[in-house]
């Protein structure tokens, strides 16, 4: 019994070591220059969008606080019996409202080209990658996802990968690509509490996972 356990643990350790080595042996530096530029563009764009969103929410938070303070002042004066028109004139919101609208427009304008750039970076994701992800989640079928990973590597210009390397990468990527909680409409309509990601969200997650794990 003890010998069997030791052998089992030894085999497991050997498998894990081979699994790790197979992932490391994929030479991502051999990808084409065009693919490398697209991957770098994805990372740059994701960071730029994140910085823009952080700045936007910080600005909006300050403006909303100003608006809330004005509304609170109005409420206090109304409770003291002041005429509503006088209160509105005393505490105008026009400038804050304009600032909020300007910030929303600025934010949308800043994000527009970044969203286009992000979409362009998905050029190396195979067309059937999303469908294989859906089958993996809904039907438990992993073979198509494995094939899609192999095609993804080929599109990047990375050739001659072994089956073990491709399988290890597919399994590692798969660990990070899951389902999501269904929205209320889907729960009521289908009585299913989880669902797959939308295609655009999946592409963004797939590329993010790939960059974090391998680049």
Residue 48 has pLDDT above 80, yes or no: yes
Give the residue-averaged pLDDT of 2-18.
49
Distance of alpha carbon 210 from alpha carbon 167, whole angstroms: 15
Residue range 33-43, pLDDT digits in tens:
999 999 999 99
pLDDT of residue 215: 83
The number of C-alpha atoms within 13 Å of 31 and in the hemisphere containing its C-beta is 18
Give the residue-averaged pLDDT of 17-35.
72
Exposed e or buried b per residue across 124-149, where buried means at least 16 C-beta atoms within 10 angstroms of its C-beta: bbbeebbebbbbbbeeeeeebbbbbb
**Closest of 89, 62, 87 to residue 76, by C-alpha:** 87
> Is 31 strand, coil or helix?
coil
Contact 154, 12 (CB under 8 A): no
Q: Among 121-125, 127-131, 185-189, 201-205, which stretch is predicted with the lowest mean pLDDT? A: 185-189
Distance of alpha carbon 164 from alpha carbon 175, whole angstroms: 17
pLDDT of residue 194: 86
């Amino acid at each position: 019994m003890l010998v069997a356990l030791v052998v089992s643990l030894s085999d497991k350790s050997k498998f894990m070591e081979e699994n790790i080595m197979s992932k490391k042996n994929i030479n991502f530096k051999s990808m084409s220059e065009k693919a490398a530029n697209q991957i770098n563009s994805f990372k740059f764009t994701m960071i730029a969008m994140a910085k823009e969103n952080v700045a936007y929410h910080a600005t909006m938070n300050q403006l909303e606080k100003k608006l809330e303070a004005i509304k609170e002042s109005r409420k206090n004066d109304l409770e003291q019996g002041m005429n509503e028109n006088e209160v509105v004139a005393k505490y105008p919101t026009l400038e804050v409202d304009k600032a909020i609208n300007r910030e929303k427009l600025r934010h949308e304008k800043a994000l527009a080209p970044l969203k286009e750039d992000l979409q362009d970076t998905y050029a190396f994701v195979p067309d059937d990658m999303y469908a294989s992800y859906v089958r993996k989640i809904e039907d438990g079928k992993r073979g198509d996802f494995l094939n899609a990973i192999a095609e993804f590597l080929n599109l990047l210009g990375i050739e001659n990968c072994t089956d073990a390397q491709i399988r290890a990468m597919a399994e590692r990527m798969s660990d990070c690509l899951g389902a999501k909680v269904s929205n209320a409409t889907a729960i009521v309509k289908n009585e299913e509490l989880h669902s797959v990601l939308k295609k655009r969200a999946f592409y963004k997650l797939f590329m993010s996972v790939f960059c974090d794990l391998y680049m």
